[in-house]
Amino acid sequence: MIDPGCFSGRKEPHLTSKILVLPTPDSLPHLTVTTPRTAPQRNCHPSIACTTSPRLSSTTFNSAAMSQQLSSALLRTCARQQLPSTVTRSAAIAAGQQRGVANAGAKFESPFASSEDPTSTLKIPNFKKYTSKSSPTTNKVFSYFVAGTMGLGSAVGAKATVQDFLVNMSASADVLAQAKVEIALGSIPEGKNVIIKWRGKPVFIRHRTSDEIKEASDIDWKTLRDPQPDEDRVQKPEWLVMLGVCTHLGCVPIGEAGDFGGWFCPCHGSHYDISGRIRKGPAPLNLEVPAYQFPDEDTLVIG
């Protein structure tokens, strides 16, 4: 079949354009076709005169041969134009392989970009009907305002909730009243014990004499079960402050009793000396000393 592009003059992108030259009848050799003479055919009936067929003229055969050779030359010319040379085929293959390979100078050409060709029929669609009338900055300001207002409201609500929660967890007024106890030391004579209540526990306050202070200091405290010198258990030598709870099972010892002139626990027989240190019995530790201070010479504050 003959490629229609051969007659229309269309060229493929990968083919080299060529001018189609058609042979003319003058350029083709004239062929003289002669036909053998045949004997005239006669009718079988003797009464009818026999007639012979006229001969084909040589001019008619020359025109038919010329048309056949013209068609053959036209087919060969179209075939040569459709078959590219080796160099052209190699260039087309290389161009196809490089298609899609981006380099530093490559850029994307949008199909909606304006064409520089004045004869271009490209029509860019108009999207103004669908675009927002307000500016993007206005929308952002409104969004930020809404987010900030919601954040501020959430912070205020969280603050109130946390504040109420902490207030409920804090100690009540009666508990705070018992947190510290103030005692007037002028009412406690020398050589006597006073028991007060602090945080639900008994507290022993002893106004020691000079002999009791000397006795507590002369003991070798390093050999005791719970080694502790008397100086570490008192802030003022004459005032001894301790929790009245036995370190064995929590009983309340009795003052001015026991084998060492201090305190004695009747529950299991623990003996404490005049400094409240364990000297005998099952108790493992000395009597606990709470936190206290002396705001002045005649006042003691526990807690």
The answer to whether the beta carbons of residues 182 and 294 sit under 8 Å apart is no
Residues labelled as active-site residues: 268
CA 17 and chain centroid, separation? 59
Maximum alpha-carbon separation in the chain: 192
Measured CA to CA, the distance from residue 97 to residue 84 in angstroms comes to: 18
According to DSSP H, which parts of 83-205 are helical? 86-97, 136-169, 173-179
CA dihedral 25→27→29→31, nearest 10 degrees, is: 10
Which of 175, 194, 173, 197 minimizes the C-alpha distance to 185?
194
Which of 33, 34, 50 minimizes the C-alpha distance to 42?
50
Give the Cβ contact number of residue 217 at 10 Å.
Answer: 13
